[in-house]
Amino acid sequence: MTDNGMAKFGRDNFVQLDELSFEEMQQQYVKMAQRCKSLEQIIEVNDISRLGQLVGKYQNNSKELLKQIAMILPAVEYAPEENKELVKLLDYLEGLHEKLEAYVVKGTLPETTFDKTECFGEHRTMRTVSFINFKGGVGKTTVSTNFAYAIFCMLRDSGVRILFIDNDKQGNASDWFEADRQYGTIANVLMGDVPVRKVIQHTRYECIDLIAADTGLMEANAHLLEGENGNEAVILREALQEVAGEYDLCIIDNPPDINMSVLNALSITDDVIIVTFPEKDSLAGAKEILAHIKQVKKFNRGLTLSGILVNAFSGHKTVYQCIDEMKNKHLPVYRTKIHYADREAKNFLNVARQGKKSIFEVSPCCKVARDIFDFSREYLGIA
Ligand SMILES: Nc1ncnc2c1ncn2[C@@H]1O[C@H](COP(=O)(O)OP(=O)(O)OP(=O)(O)O)[C@@H](O)[C@H]1O
Ligand SMILES: [Mg+2]
């Protein structure tokens, strides 16, 4: 992008944004987000030739703001450093995106009601999805809890039933659901203390039930490790048989660890979703999980790596390199990426977690909310 292009688009237009009504701002914002996504995809597939086409499309379809963006697009120097320039452009658009986002704190989720049989089939038994990474703090709990909420929103009218299992002794998801530990926890199930039905509790969301967790999981894991029955890795599977017919989807939030309760989770899992930050050790982490999947496949043939979900995504070159590295090893990477939450979005995330709400209930239009919503649709095959 030329300095001239940047200056032309820069300060003046941000000032103009103040003059837009809230609804106009929202419309621009949604369009802007779509444009950014298109650009990301261009960079991702490295198909620079499509850029010209898209510029034409923007000019025909969009309002003033987007036309001005389009005006600066031809200023991108395609050669010899076309990727670098595009990444710079993307960064710039990201900045604009952030700026717009700061204005939009309200809004609603897109109207999306689907039939659950479209997603889970007519006579399917419970489909189970595990969010996993042996590395901590990569967003497993953030994504899995908000994913549960997004699916609840999309499918509640068709009577979807979701069972959420917190499989982490930290109990972060349980806290978020405001679990009542008096019902018991997953530790009780693994220890064989109580039938599974007893530890399932309703949550504030009418379609979502919960099996909570707490530090009792440490003892349960130690107990299973010492067990000699030979069924220590499939106790959860056996226990859940009793209720599997009552749910369409089971979502498991796993700890940053591999232990007996994680093996139990994998023994009932259909789809593994590796949540990862795009960092240099992401590939190694994914490979480690794959090795475990291979082992568990011996007693759960339905287990597959559904995909790698990139969290804290940005337009930086190193991020694209990391994603390319995983793709080059033929690892499935979800098309939807969860963007890195800037200060504003991070604030929404914190408010949501502290207030025990989903990000959608705090700021349904913020970047992270929209991405998790898109990801949920992609997972369900309705993207
Ligand atoms: N896209 C994002 N951008 C910025 N921060 C994020 C993003 N996603 C999650 N976070 C933040 O990262 C922190 C860790 O998130 P979270 O607890 O979901 O990770 P985790 O993988 O479940 O951690 P653990 O392994 O300890 O269970 C939280 O503060 C969360 O708000
Ligand atoms: Mg967690």
DSSP string for residues in 93-126: HHHHHHHHHHH------------HHHHH-SS---
pLDDT at 86: 54
- Pair 35, 61 in one domain: yes
Work out which ligand 1 atom sits closest to the CA atom of 313.
Answer: 1
Q: Which of 341, 331, 276 is nearest to 131 (CA)?
A: 276
Mean pLDDT value across residues 200-206 = 96
Cα 138 to ligand 1 centroid, rounded to whole Å: 5
d(CA 93, CA 279): 22
Q: Is 73 helix (H, G, I), strand (E, B) or coil?
A: helix
Query: Quick one: which atom of ligand 1 is closest to the CA of 368?
Result: 1
- With 90 as the cut, is the pLDDT of residue 269 above it? yes
Q: Is residue 241 part of a domain?
A: yes
- Please give the share of the chain, as a percent, with pLDDT higher than 90: 55
Which position has the higher pLDDT, 348 or 24? 348
| Residue 111 falls inside a structural domain | no
Spatial neighbors of 105 by CB under 8 A, at least 6 apart, are 348, 363, 365, 366
Residue 45 scores a pLDDT above 60:
no
Residue 342 in contact with ligand 1 by CB distance below 6 A: no
The pLDDT value recorded for residue 234 is 95
- How far does the centroid of ligand 1 lie from the alpha carbon of residue 131, in Å? 13
User: pLDDT category, 63, cuts 50, 70, 90?
Assistant: very low
How confident is the model at residue 116, as a pLDDT? 81
CA distance linking residue 210 with residue 363, whole number of Å:
24
Least trusted range by pLDDT, from 36-45, 134-143, 193-202, 310-319? 36-45
Nearest ligand, CA 285 = 1
**CA of 349, closest atom in ligand 1:** 31
Residue 107 falls within a domain, yes or no?
Answer: no
Shared domain check, 79 and 10: yes
Closest residue by Cα to atom 8, ligand 1, is 139
359 lines ligand 1 (CB under 6 A): no
For the stretch 367-380, pLDDT in tens is: 898 899 999 999 99
pLDDT of residue 15: 31
Amino acid at 378: E
- Cβ atoms within 10 Å of 373's Cβ, excluding its own: 24
- Residue 311 alpha carbon, nearest atom of ligand 1: 1
Q: How many domains does the structure of the chain reveal?
A: 2
Final residue before a domain boundary, out of 73, 102, 131: 102
Give the residue, 319 or 55, on which the prediction is more confident. 319
Q: Are residues 134 and 161 in the same domain?
A: yes
Residue 315 belongs to some domain of the structure = yes
Give the domain-ending residue among 102, 137, 154. 102
Q: How many residues make up the chain in this entry? A: 383
Does residue 8 belong to any structural domain of this protein?
Answer: yes
Asked if residue 256 and residue 318 are part of one domain, the reply reads: yes
Looking at the structure, do residues 47 and 147 belong to the same domain, yes or no? Answer: no
What pLDDT score does 34 carry? 64
Domain end residue (candidates: 78, 102, 126): 102
| Ligand 1 proximity of 368 Cβ (cutoff 6 Å) | yes
Mean pLDDT of 349-364: 90
301: in domain = yes
For the segment 225-253, the average pLDDT, to the nearest whole number, is 94
Same domain, 240 and 309: yes
Name the least confident of 152-156, 234-238, 248-252, 308-312.
152-156
Computed from CA positions of residues 330, 331, 336, 339, in that sequence, does the dihedral angle turn out positive or negative? negative
Dist CA 355 CA 117 (whole Å): 33
Predicted pLDDT of residue 316: 82
**Bigger pLDDT: 103 or 140?**
140
Average pLDDT on 68-84 reads 43
In a domain, 185, yes or no: yes
**Residue-number span of the structural domain to which 14 is assigned:** 3-102
Residues 7 and 125 in one domain: no
Does the CB atom of residue 138 touch ligand 1 within 6 A?
yes
The pair of three-digit structure tokens given for residue 69, joined into one six-digit string: 């963006």
Query: Which residue's CA is the nearest one to ligand 1's atom 11?
Result: 139
